[in-house]
Structure 1
Amino acid sequence: MAEESFAPIFDSLGTTSSRPIRTPKTAELVALRLRRMIVDGELTDGDRLPHEVELMEHFSVSRPTLREAVRVLEAERLVEVRRGSRSGARVCVPGPEIVARPASLLLELSGATVADVLVVRQAIEPHAARLLALTGSDTEFDELARMIDEDIPASYLANKLSAGAAAFHLRLVQLCGNATLSLLAGMMHEIFERHMEAVTAQKSLVDREKYEASYQLLVRSCRRLIKLLRAGDVDATYDHWQQHVTVSRASLLVGHESTQVRDILN
C-alpha cells in the first residue's frame, strides 16, 4: 500500500529520482561553519583564524581537509591567505565591490546602456532618502552635511566634481539602513561615477560656466535635502530627491542616450 501511494510522487520526479543525493564533503562542512561564524559576527573583519592545529582539533579534521575549507572561503573572498606567512588566514568581510565587477560584466555583455543604470538609480535613491528621513539620526545627517561643506567643494576645486557627487549619492543610500538598497547602489557606483566624470570633465574644459552652474545646483539641492531630513519630512524628502535624480538623469544623458556600459568601463 505504501509503495503504491509513493509511486506517483517518484514518477513525477522523472529521471532525477534515480540520481543519488550528494553528501557534502567534510571540507565544505567546515567552510560552512566558518562562513556562518563570519556572518554571525563571531569572526569580524581583520580577525585572524585560529592556528591550523587548533582548527584541526576543533573540527576533528586533517590538515588537507582544513586547507581545502580555507581555500573555499578564499575563493569567496571571505578570507585572505598570505602564502609563506605564519600568521594564517585573515578574515576580510567584502563590500559591494565583490559583486560590482561581475554585475558590470553582465551589464556589458547584455548591452545595457547608461540610461538603464540611471533608471535604477532613480528608483533607489528617493526611497533611500525617505527611509533616512524616517529613521536617520543627527550624526548621520551631520556626516552628509560635512560632505556637502567639505568633500564636494574639494572635489569641485580639483576638477573632480563627479567623485564628490557620486560619493554623496552612495553614502545617502548606505545610511538609509536598508542593506539591499545599499548593495544595489554599491554595484552601480563605479558605472555612475565614471560616466559622471566624463560628462563633468567635458563641461569643465569646454564650458566653465556650465560646470560652475552644475556645482552650485548640486550644493543647493543637497543642502535642501539635509534640511528636509532634519525636519523628518518624509514625503517632502522623497519628492525633492525624486526631482533631483530626475533632473540629474536628464542632464547626464544629453548626448549619451545610447552610450553603453562597456563604453564606460573599457
Structure 2
Amino acid sequence: MTNREAASLSAVSGSVRIPKTAELVADRLRTEIVRGQLKEGDTLPPETTLMEEFGVSRPTLREAYRLLEAESLIQLKRGARGGAIVSVPDISVASRYVGLILQMSGTTLDEIHEARIIFEPACARLFTERRTDDDLDDLHACIDRMRAVTEQDLDSNKAPEMWAELTGTFQAIITERCGNNALSVQAGVLRDIVRTHQKYALARGTQREGTWPAFRRNLRSYEKFVDIIATGDGAAAEEHWSAHLRSVGKILFGRGAGRASIVELFG
C-alpha cells in the first residue's frame, strides 16, 4: 500500500490509524527477534546499514530502537563497541505490565494467591509427569539449601530473605519446567507478585513467635512433595501442592493482610 492509498483509506474510514515509520521498523525487527532470526546476544547491524535497508533517517531508526528497548527486546550500549544488542525479556517484564493493570483494578493479595492456587497445582501435575532426573536433582539441591537455612542461619537478619529466595527458586523450577509455556508465564507473573510480598512479610515477622516452626513445617512439605514427584504420581502432586499453597496463604496473608491491595505493596 502506498502512502497515498493509506492516507485515502484513513480519510474514508475515519478510524484507521496509520503506523508511524518507526513503528513499522520496530515491527520488522521484533518479528526477526521473535522468529529467532536475531538471537539473544546478537548485535544489530550498524545504524547506517539499517537506515539504508529500511530507507529511514537516523532519528526514525533510533525511535524504533527506543520502542524495542522499552519492550526489553534490545539493550543499547554506548561507545566504540556499542550498538543495539538483542535480549530476551524474562518474566519480570510481564509481571511489571500485568502488575500495573492489577494495581489499577484494585486487586488484593488474596485474589493473587487464589489465582495462584488455580495455576500452580496444574503446573505441579504436568511437571511430575514430565520431570527429568536433572529436575529432581535441582529440587533436592534447593531443599538442601533450605535445610541449611532452617538449621544454621535462623538468627541471621538475612534468613527471611534467603528463605524467600529459595522457596521462589523451588517454585520456579516447578512452573517453568512443566512443559506448558502458557501456564508457566501466568503462574510466574503471580509468583513474582507473591514473592515481593513474601520478602516484606517475612522481614517484618522475623521476631514473631511461631515463624521458624512455620518454616520447618514448610520444609517438611517440600520434602514430601519431592518424594511424590519422584513417584511420577501427577494427581498426588497436584493435590499436595494445592494444600501446601493454602497453608502458606494462611501464614502470609493471615490477620487480614490478604485484603490489602497490591497498590500498597508496589506503590
TM-score range, shorter chain: 0.7 to 0.9
Q: Are 1:135 and 1:176, in contact at CA under 8 Å, matched by a contact in 2?
A: yes
Structure 1: distance between partners of 2:26 and 2:266:
34
- Give the direction of change, closer, same or farther, for the CA distance of 1:82–1:163 in structure 2 (3 Å limit): same
Length, aligned pairs only: 249
Q: What TM-score does the superposition give when structure 1 sets the normalisation length?
A: 0.82
Report SS of the residue matched to 1:41: coil
After the TM superposition, which residues 29-68 of structure 1 pair with which residues of structure 2 at under 5 Å, given as runs? 29-68=24-63
Tell me the alpha carbon deviations over residues 16-41 of structure 1, each in whole angstroms, 9 at most, x when there is no partner.
96337455444333322211111112
Q: Which of 182, 194, 197 is residue 195 of structure 1 equivalent to?
A: 197
Report whether the alignment pairs 1:175 with 2:177.
yes
Residue in 1 that maps onto 2:264: 263
Residue in 2 that maps onto 1:6: none
Residue in 1 that maps onto 2:249: 249
Structure 2: distance between partners of 1:100 and 1:232:
31
Structure 2: distance between partners of 1:103 and 1:172:
21
- The one-letter code of the counterpart of 2:143 is I
Structure 2: distance between partners of 1:220 and 1:54:
59
- The one-letter code of the counterpart of 1:182 is S
Structure 1: distance between partners of 2:112 and 2:15:
43
- The one-letter code of the counterpart of 1:101 is R
Residue in 2 that maps onto 1:234: 234
Residue in 2 that maps onto 1:185: 187
- Give the direction of change, closer, same or farther, for the CA distance of 1:201–1:38 in structure 2 (3 Å limit): same
Residue in 2 that maps onto 1:144: 139
Alpha-carbon distance, 1:126 to partner: 0.4
Alpha-carbon distance, 1:170 to partner: 2.7
Alpha-carbon distance, 1:139 to partner: 1.1
Report SS of the residue matched to 2:85: strand
Q: In angstroms, what is the RMSD of aligned CA positions?
A: 2.6
Report whether the alignment pairs 1:135 with 2:130.
yes
Report SS of the residue matched to 2:226: helix
Tell me the alpha carbon deviations over residues 28-59 of structure 1, each in whole angstroms, 9 at most, x when there is no partner.
33322211111112222222112223333444
After the TM superposition, which residues 207-222 of structure 1 pair with which residues of structure 2 at under 5 Å, given as runs? 207=209, 210-222=210-222
Q: What TM-score does the superposition give when structure 2 sets the normalisation length?
A: 0.82
- Give the direction of change, closer, same or farther, for the CA distance of 1:145–1:84 in structure 2 (3 Å limit): same
Q: Are 1:166 and 1:192, in contact at CA under 8 Å, matched by a contact in 2?
A: no
Alpha-carbon distance, 1:228 to partner: 1.7
Tell me the alpha carbon deviations over residues 147-167 of structure 1, each in whole angstroms, 9 at most, x when there is no partner.
1112x2355424222222233
Tell me the alpha carbon deviations over residues 102-161 of structure 1, each in whole angstroms, 9 at most, x when there is no partner.
3223323322211111101111110000010122211112112211112x2355424222
Identity %: 35
Structure 1: distance between partners of 2:15 and 2:200:
55
Q: Are 1:78 and 1:94, in contact at CA under 8 Å, matched by a contact in 2?
A: yes
